């Protein structure tokens, strides 16, 4: 039963745990563990999994071995396996790995752009032009992520107009989907609505997604606010894995189990198996020796006696 006609009836969840989640682990997570995690997630029903990142291993050592991971996974038909790509070098690796989607990542904040990809916003857009063109030529989908869209660890508050500028540039590049990312989890529902209302004047809401980290505990409320303005794609991470290497104190993405529980309660279809994801969340947390960051996942596993 759908409680409100104003909310989308279906939502696509992009599971980002294997990339955004694991990228922040200090101890290297073996490729076999990553491969098994991705296979379990595709079996649980996700239509889109952010599986790897072809970035400089000097910058993010945890993502070294992304080629081995992409080669080792069982490809489920109709599942989109996405990879992050910061430049042409990354794109070549992504194409060799037969990624279904590449993700370029820019920022709404100059300072964060410098810290994360070592260049200005302007330089990053110039760098993305050949990347997107080559991806298109190869028939690979392109998604663009706009970091710090709701606040920056260095610049503080970010004006929605700045976000809109970057979204416009990403739209001009011809990206298929654009993520509004709250990299450090500082956003609140009013700001979320304001940003989505602004950027949906530039790019269709059906191709915008909400990427929320849970640092200040606002991410579920933020998702609800985004649903109310028509957003129907959200990113989340099993067991709330993650953090951001270039944003001190930032916690992981909103936990997938919590999002699934929220959406199921609202009668919104996701085609993802909550119980299976809760078990996967319990397992990966134990395997990498980290507390399970999902409240819903912990509650479900406690009921099972696990
Ligand atoms: P740089 O140091 O300015 O670049 O880094 P460079 O071209 O001088 O390269 C330095 C070295 O890296 C060279 O190696 C290159 O070959 C190598 P050396 O000659 O010294 O041996 N290199 C690469 N190796 C493998 N794959 C590549 C690659 N490119 C260069 N693609 C660069 C610039 C962009 C490469 C670097 O800053 C970088 O890789 N940054 C990635 C940072 C990152 O992955 N951050 C986390 C992901 S973003 C995120 O999590 C946010 C998101 O979740 C949304 C949100 O929440 O906001 C998406
Ligand atoms: Mg993120």
Q: Kindly state the percentage of the chain with pLDDT values over 90.
A: 94
Distances (CA, A) of 229 to 2, 146, 210: 16, 19, 11
Instruction: Map out the domains of the chain with their CATH numbers.
Output: 2-304 (3.20.20.70)
| The pLDDT value given to residue 10 | 98
Q: Where are the beta strands (DSSP E) in 72-151?
A: 80-84, 101-107, 141-147
| The pLDDT value given to residue 306 | 81
Q: What is the pLDDT of residues 183-210, one digit of tens each?
A: 999 999 999 999 999 999 999 999 999 9
Q: How far apart are CA 223 and CA 232, in angstroms?
A: 9
Parts of the chain with a pLDDT under 50: 1-4
DSSP state of 109: S
Helix (H) or strand (E) holding 135: helix 121-137
Q: What is the pLDDT of residues 101-132, one digit of tens each?
A: 999 999 999 999 999 999 999 999 999 999 99
| The pLDDT value given to residue 173 | 97
| The pLDDT value given to residue 184 | 93
Residues near ligand 1 (Cβ within 6 A): 20, 23, 53-56, 58-60, 84, 86-87, 89-90, 105, 116-118, 145, 147, 181, 183, 211, 244
pTM higher than 0.85 for the full model? yes
From the CA of 116, how far away is ligand 1's center (Å)?
8
């Amino acid at each position: 039963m759908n409680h409100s006609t104003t909310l989308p009836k279906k939502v696509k969840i992009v599971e980002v745990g294997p990339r955004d989640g694991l990228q922040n682990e200090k101890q290297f997570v073996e490729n076999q563990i990553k491969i098994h995690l991705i296979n379990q997630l595709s079996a649980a029903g996700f239509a889109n999994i952010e599986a790897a990142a072809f970035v400089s291993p000097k910058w993010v050592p945890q993502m070294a071995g992304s080629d081995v991971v992409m080669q080792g996974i069982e490809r489920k038909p109709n599942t989109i396996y996405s990879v992050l790509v910061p430049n042409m070098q990354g794109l070549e690796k992504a194409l060799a790995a037969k990624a279904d989607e590449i993700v370029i990542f820019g920022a709404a904040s100059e300072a964060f752009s410098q810290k994360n990809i070592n260049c200005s916003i302007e330089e990053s857009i110039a760098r993305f032009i050949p990347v997107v063109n080559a991806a298109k030529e190869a028939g690979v989908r392109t998604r663009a992520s706009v970091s710090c869209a709701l606040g920056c660890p260095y610049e503080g508050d970010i004006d929605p107009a700045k976000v809109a500028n970057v979204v416009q540039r990403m739209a001009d590049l011809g990206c298929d989907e654009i993520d509004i990312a709250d990299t450090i989890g500082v956003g609140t529902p009013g700001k979320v609505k304001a940003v989505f209302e602004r950027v949906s004047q530039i790019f269709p809401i059906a191709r915008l997604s909400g990427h929320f980290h849970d640092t200040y505990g606002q991410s579920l409320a933020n998702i609800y606010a985004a649903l109310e303005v028509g957003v129907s794609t959200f990113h989340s991470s099993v067991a709330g894995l993650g953090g951001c290497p270039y944003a001190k104190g930032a916690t992981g993405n909103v936990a997938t189990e919590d999002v699934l529980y929220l959406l199921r309660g609202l009668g919104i279809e996701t085609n993802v198996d909550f119980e299976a994801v809760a078990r996967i969340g319990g397992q990966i947390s134990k395997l990498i020796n980290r507390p399970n960051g999902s409240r819903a996942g912990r509650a479900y596993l406690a009921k099972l006696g696990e």
